[in-house]
Structure 1
Amino acid sequence: MTDDDVLAEFRAAGALLEGHFILSSGLHSPRYLQCARVLMDPERASRLASALAARIPRELRSQIGIVVSPAMGGVIIGHEMGRALGVEAIFVERPTGRFELRRGFRLNEGQKVLLVEDVVTTGLSSREAMQAVAEAGGEVIAAASLIDRSAGAADMGVPFFPLVALNVPSYDPAELPPELAAIPAEKPGSRKHVLSAAEGAA
Structure 2
Amino acid sequence: MEEELLNIFKESGALLEGHFLLTSGRHSGRYMQCAQVLQYPHLAARLVGELVRPFRDMGIETVIGPAMGGILVAHEAARALGVRALFTERENGVMRLRRGFKLTPQEKVLVVEDVITTGGSVREVIEEVRQSGALPLAVGVLVDRSGGRVDFGLPLTAAVELEIATYPAEDCPLCRQGLPCVKPGSRTPR
TM-score by length of 2: 0.91
Aligned sequence identity (%): 46
CA change 1:25–1:87 in 2 (3 A) is farther
Match of 1:110 in 2: 106
Structure 1 unaligned spans of 5+: 195-202
The structural deviation recorded for 1:191 is 5.9
Q: Does the alignment pair 1:168 with 2:168?
A: no
The structural deviation recorded for 1:95 is 3.1
Aligned-residue CA RMSD (Å): 1.8
Match of 1:200 in 2: none
The structural deviation recorded for 1:25 is 3.7
2: distance between equivalents of 1:24 and 1:88? 30
The structural deviation recorded for 1:143 is 0.2
Give the paired residue count: 189
Match of 1:134 in 2: 130
2: distance between equivalents of 1:147 and 1:85? 20
Q: Is the 8 A contact 1:114 1:140 kept in 2?
A: yes
* Structure having greater relative contact order (Cα 8 Å, sep ≥ 6): 2
What secondary structure sits across from 1:77 in the alignment?
helix
Counterpart residue identity of residue 70, structure 2 = G
Match of 1:122 in 2: 118
2: distance between equivalents of 1:31 and 1:145? 18
TM-score by length of 1: 0.86
1: distance between equivalents of 2:140 and 2:70? 10
CA change 1:132–1:117 in 2 (3 A) is same
Structure 2 unaligned spans of 5+: none
Match of 2:69 in 1: 73
- Residues 4-153 of structure 1: matches in 2 within 5 Å? 4-54=3-53, 56=54, 58=56, 61-153=57-149
What secondary structure sits across from 2:112 in the alignment?
strand
Match of 1:198 in 2: none
CA change 1:134–1:9 in 2 (3 A) is same
2: distance between equivalents of 1:72 and 1:146? 14
2: distance between equivalents of 1:175 and 1:138? 44
1: distance between equivalents of 2:125 and 2:169? 25
- Residues 180-191 of structure 1: matches in 2 within 5 Å? 180-181=175-176, 182-190=178-186
